[in-house]
Amino acid sequence: MKKGLIIGLTALMVLGLATMGMAVDLKVDGTGVTSATVDFSVDNGWIDIVARGIDASTWHPGTLGNENCFLGGGWFEGTYSVSQGLYGELAARINTDSKSPASFELWDYQDFNVMSGNHTYNVEGYFYAKASGTTTPVAMNLKTAGSMYVWSEATNPYWKDALRGNYIEKYSRVEVGDVTQVELDIWVNTDGSAMMSNSDIWGWGTWESGTTSTHYSGATRNISATGSGTGSQSGWGANIFNYSNDYTFPGGGGVNPGGGFWFNDGISGTYSMDGS
């Protein structure tokens, strides 16, 4: 397999990757290449997918507006698909499940100067999600969607776990003029199985205004886990920061002042954070 492959077709299919690694580079320019799909089945190997959304308008022609990356390792199978809008915005989807120990990571970068066609300046958004495990099946079922003014991730399809594994995490950050404005982070690590889900399909979001939130469209954000473990919910905002949670520890546990928590026999509850 060729490393750093530039896709010149509208779709790419990759099947039966065994005990090996592969890197796929998807340059979706909004003109000749508007979409791409990668199907994969990996046995004790890895796949690294990078999708770049390039502005095809007259505002920032040829400039990166949105970048989406997926890295998977271990034993797993799934599908990654991506398409692009006019200003380099990407709509990407990853659905992957592990057969055995596996690790999945997803990154997304948004340049709202490019994506908004100069509606705003010097605002950049970052999102990261991870699910990994050695003793429980691992899953990542996420959709990301960028527009001129806002970007969000979502659970897709809605009935599956957004993230599942021994370890799960979501993180977002917004920078204004290369200075961090707000950061949000939540993670859980357990010897059982941890899950993250939304009562609404939509999850975390970033805005051209320099805001990031765990609640793009309201509703509730849920975490749950079996077994014993630890976790953390943390964040801050330069101008304003809102933070809340409602956790239950059925077998005992607690929360410390810094936002960390521990549990002896599972945890369940809801969380909320936003700032600017």
Report the pLDDT value the prediction gives residue 120, as an integer from 0 to 100: 83
Q: What is the mean pLDDT of residues 152-176?
A: 96
What pLDDT is recorded for position 3?
Answer: 27
User: Among the listed ranges 15-19, 179-183, 245-249, which one has the minimum average pLDDT value?
Assistant: 15-19
**Helix, strand, coil percent content, the chain, rounded in steps of 5:** 0, 65, 35
Structural domain span for residue 217: 5-275
Q: How confident is the model at residue 30 (pLDDT cuts 50, 70, 90)?
A: low
Q: What is the tally of structural domains in the chain?
A: 1
Residue 31's pLDDT is: 61
The answer, yes or no, to whether residue 17 has pLDDT greater than 50, is no
Share of the chain above pLDDT 70, in %: 89
**Cα 145 to Cα 127: distance, rounded to the nearest angstrom:** 12
CA 13 to the chain's CA centroid: 22
Question: What digits encode the pLDDT tens for the residues 263-276?
Answer: 999 999 999 999 99
**The pLDDT of residue 20:** 54
* Better-scored residue on pLDDT, 36 or 225: 225
Give the pLDDT score at 250. 96
Sorting pLDDT into bands at 50, 70 and 90, what band is 35? confident
Is pLDDT at 15 greater than 70 in this prediction?
no
Residue 56 has pLDDT above 80, yes or no: yes
- pLDDT score for 1: 26
Instruction: Give pLDDT, residue 38.
Output: 86
pLDDT at residue 19, rounded to an integer: 41
pLDDT reported for residue 32: 62
pLDDT (tens digit, 9 = 90+) per residue, 185-195? Answer: 999 999 999 99
| pTM metric for this prediction | 0.92
In angstroms, what CA-CA distances link 273 with 34, 189, 194?
Answer: 34, 20, 20
Q: Render pLDDT for 97-115 as a digit per residue (tens, 0 to 9).
A: 997 899 999 999 999 999 9
The pLDDT confidence band at residue 33, using thresholds 50, 70 and 90, is low
Q: What percent of the chain has pLDDT over 90?
A: 68
Pairing label, strands 35-54, 17-18: parallel
Contact 177, 151 (CB under 8 A): no
Task: Name residue, tokens 């936002």.
Answer: 259
- Mean pLDDT confidence for 112-137: 94
Helix ranges (H only) for the chain are: 112-115
What lies within 8 Å, CB to CB, of 10 at 6+ separation is 33, 34, 35, 36
